[in-house]
């Protein structure tokens, strides 16, 4: 059955199935190409009549994940210029003033989209939450730093989407005063920036950061990728010059420059920059309710399928310690608690704590009264992935069947029930069901069997990064 909703730009036609109304590919800003390329997002042109919102809209220009990650993380590519679009799932019963969650996908600022089946919002709508998922510009289009273009364009896209939510979500039964932004990896890093951005003030009440800490770089650091791409393209490092390059050629060169980088191993990549406008150089502590956490073995997504974990020996471990300026006593501590671990596993565990768990705990320490911390510990049997990066998403969305590339068949539904229930509770009331962060450092560890609250897990290791 079809259903009509009226937005400020025009009417959209969605579809009702099993009591859930779904609206897909709804534009929240104008297509960012042609004269608008490398510009801030522009308003949507209103339309006459009823616009179909029955299929996912175009995705931002990107390339697939490199092998073998492309098999583990499917990344749909839908052509078209109207890539600044969003999707809405809401109960079809006509309820109003429901809590709203806005999902910002991950993908290292250069991959991903809102059209992954893993991000289907039906379970949230089933449980009384309006779920919105958004697309935003990626890679050089969204995060390339130029002297003649606004910085952080992908972040500006996200702010435009949140503004659309504030202005339109009541037409879908949502409460614009009770919005929770949630995201994983680059999505969580984006949210950490949004929490301090004056441009995003008042657009959301709560935030959920999954496996992504606050992270910005200076403009000159952020511009390095554009400089490298410009050399390969043999054009000036300006938005005007890049706008004249064929889009496919630009993606080819982008993949060549940043294709081997990853969040744990490092390498050239795209970042949010502290521009003093969208993102303050010295941000204030965030004022929103906050739920944050990470997966116990984040590094295994990048280290295990690629064989990196086996290529790292004692010598390369010592060289990595020098590169990251990690004292030898820290490595000895990690070895003592993991006597059977390979050198690559020791390095991965330290990198996970240095780059993810440590910064997230520091954020919790900066504003403890309204912060809740979790850890995801269930280990996937697929390819030795363990409790790797991104594994928790299917449990949060209660979409386990869509995530079997990572989890394998038969992932524990009770664990999905527990995580999904906690996320719904936090979006509804600001309390996910366990104690807020304080001097005891309570962490809800999600595992199966054995979900429960743990005080200060692995504190001796964590302290070396705080």
pLDDT in tens, 81-121: 999 999 999 999 888 899 999 999 999 999 999 999 999 99
Domain ranges of the chain: 2-463
Cis bond upstream, residue 5 (ω within 30): no
Question: Which candidate in 141, 184, 297, 298 is catalytic?
Answer: 298
The residues that bridge with 452 in the sheet, in sequence order, are 445
Residue 284 has pLDDT above 80, yes or no: no
Who has greater pLDDT, 324 or 313? 313
Q: Report the pLDDT value the prediction gives residue 95, as an integer from 0 to 100.
A: 83
Residue 270 has pLDDT above 90, yes or no: yes
Residue 389 designated active-site: yes
Which pTM does this prediction carry? 0.97
Q: What is the mean pLDDT of residues 286-313?
A: 94
| Contacts with 462 (C-beta within 8 Å, 6 or more apart), sequence order | 353, 357, 358, 361, 456
Pairwise CA distance, residues 228 & 466, whole Å? 34
Bridge-based pairing of strands 206-210 and 98-104 is: unpaired
Of the CA atoms within 13 Å of residue 109, those in its CB half-sphere come to 29
The residues that bridge with 11 in the sheet, in sequence order, are 6, 50
Pairwise CA distance, residues 43 & 30, whole Å? 6
Task: Enter the tokens of residue 423.
Answer: 């996320």
Position 235 confidence tier, pLDDT thresholds 50, 70, 90: very high
Residue 221 designated active-site: no
Q: Which helix (H) or strand (E) holds 90?
A: strand 85-91
Beta carbons of 101 and 183 less than 8 angstroms apart: no
Question: Which candidate in 108, 115, 185, 190 is catalytic?
Answer: 185
Pairwise CA distance, residues 205 & 177, whole Å? 7
| Contacts with 457 (C-beta within 8 Å, 6 or more apart), sequence order | 375, 443, 445
61: left (phi over 0), alpha (psi -120 to 50) or beta: beta
Give the burial string for 360-374 (b: 16+ CB within 10 Å, else e): bbebbeeeeebbbbb
Residue 178 has pLDDT above 90, yes or no: yes
Q: What are phi and psi of 56, to 5 degrees?
A: -55, 140
Q: What is the percentage of the chain residues whose pLDDT exceeds 70?
A: 99
Pairwise CA distance, residues 113 & 194, whole Å? 19
Q: What are phi and psi of 155, to 5 degrees?
A: -70, -40
Compute CA 25 distance to the chain's CA centroid, rounded to the nearest angstrom.
19
Task: Enter the tokens of residue 335.
Answer: 């070895």
CA-wise closest residue to 388 among 289, 268, 308:
308
Question: Which candidate in 345, 389, 392, 461 is catalytic?
Answer: 389
Residue 298 designated active-site: yes
In angstroms and rounded to an integer, the radius of gyration of the C-alpha atoms of the chain is 21
Question: What are the start-end ranges of the E strands in 164-215?
Answer: 174-184, 206-210
CA-wise closest residue to 136 among 181, 184, 86:
86
Fold for the domain defined by 2-463: Rossmann fold (3.40.50)
By residue count, the chain amounts to 466
Q: In a 3-state reduction of DSSP, which class is residue 446?
A: strand
| Contacts with 151 (C-beta within 8 Å, 6 or more apart), sequence order | 145, 219, 222, 273, 275, 277, 278, 279
- Residue ranges of alpha helices (H) inside 81-223 are 122-126, 139-143, 153-168, 186-194, 219-222
pLDDT in tens, 362-416: 999 998 679 999 999 999 999 999 999 999 999 999 999 999 999 999 999 999 9
Task: Enter the tokens of residue 8.
Answer: 């400020």
Residue 283 has pLDDT above 80, yes or no: no
């Amino acid at each position: 059955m079809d259903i009509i909703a009226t937005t400020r730009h025009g009417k959209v036609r969605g579809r009702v199935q099993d009591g859930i109304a779904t609206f897909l590919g709804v534009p929240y800003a104008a297509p960012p190409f042609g004269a608008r390329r490398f510009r801030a997002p522009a308003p949507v042109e209103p339309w006459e009549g009823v616009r179909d919102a029955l299929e996912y809209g175009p995705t931002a220009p990107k390339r697939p994940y490199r092998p073998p990650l492309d098999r583990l993380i499917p990344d749909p590519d839908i052509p078209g210029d109207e890539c600044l679009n969003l999707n809405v799932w809401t109960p079809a019963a006509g309820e109003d003033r429901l809590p709203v969650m806005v999902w910002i996908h991950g993908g290292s600022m250069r991959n991903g989209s809102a059209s992954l089946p893993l991000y289907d919002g039906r379970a949230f709508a089933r449980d009384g939450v309006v779920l919105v998922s958004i697309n935003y510009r990626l890679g050089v289009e969204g995060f390339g730093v130029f002297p003649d273009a606004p910085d952080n364009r992908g972040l500006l896209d996200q702010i435009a989407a949140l503004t659309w939510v504030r202005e339109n979500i009541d037409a879908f039964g949502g409460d614009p005063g009770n919005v929770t932004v949630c995201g994983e990896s680059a999505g969580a890093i984006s949210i950490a920036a949004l929490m301090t951005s004056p441009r995003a003030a008042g657009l959301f009440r709560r935030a959920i950061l999954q496996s992504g800490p606050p992270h910005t770089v200076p403009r000159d650091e952020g511009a390095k990728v554009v400089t490298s791409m410009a050399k390969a393209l043999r054009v000036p490092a300006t938005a005007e010059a890049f706008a004249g390059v064929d889009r496919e050629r630009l993606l080819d060169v982008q993949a060549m420059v940043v294709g081997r980088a990853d969040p744990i191993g490092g390498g050239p990549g795209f970042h949010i920059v502290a521009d003093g406008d969208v993102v303050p150089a010295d941000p204030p502590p965030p004022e929103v309710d906050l739920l944050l956490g990470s997966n116990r073995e984040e590094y295994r997504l990048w280290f295990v399928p690629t064989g990196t974990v086996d290529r790292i020996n004692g010598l390369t471990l010592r060289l990595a310690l020098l590169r990251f300026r990690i004292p030898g006593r820290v490595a000895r501590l990690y070895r003592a608690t993991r006597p059977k671990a390979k050198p690559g596993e020791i390095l991965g565990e330290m990198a996970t704590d240095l780059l993810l768990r440590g910064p997230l705990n520091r954020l919790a320490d900066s504003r403890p009264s309204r912060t809740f911390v979790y850890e995801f510990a269930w280990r996937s049997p697929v390819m030795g992935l363990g409790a790797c990066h991104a594994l928790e998403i299917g449990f949060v969305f209660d979409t386990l069947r869509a995530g079997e590339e990572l989890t394998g068949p038969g992932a524990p539904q009770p664990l999905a029930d527990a995580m999904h229930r906690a996320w719904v509770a936090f979006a509804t009331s600001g309390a996910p069901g366990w104690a807020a962060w304080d001097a005891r450092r309570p962490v809800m560890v999600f595992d199966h069997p054995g979900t429960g609250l743990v005080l200060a897990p692995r504190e001796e290791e964590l302290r070396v990064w705080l």
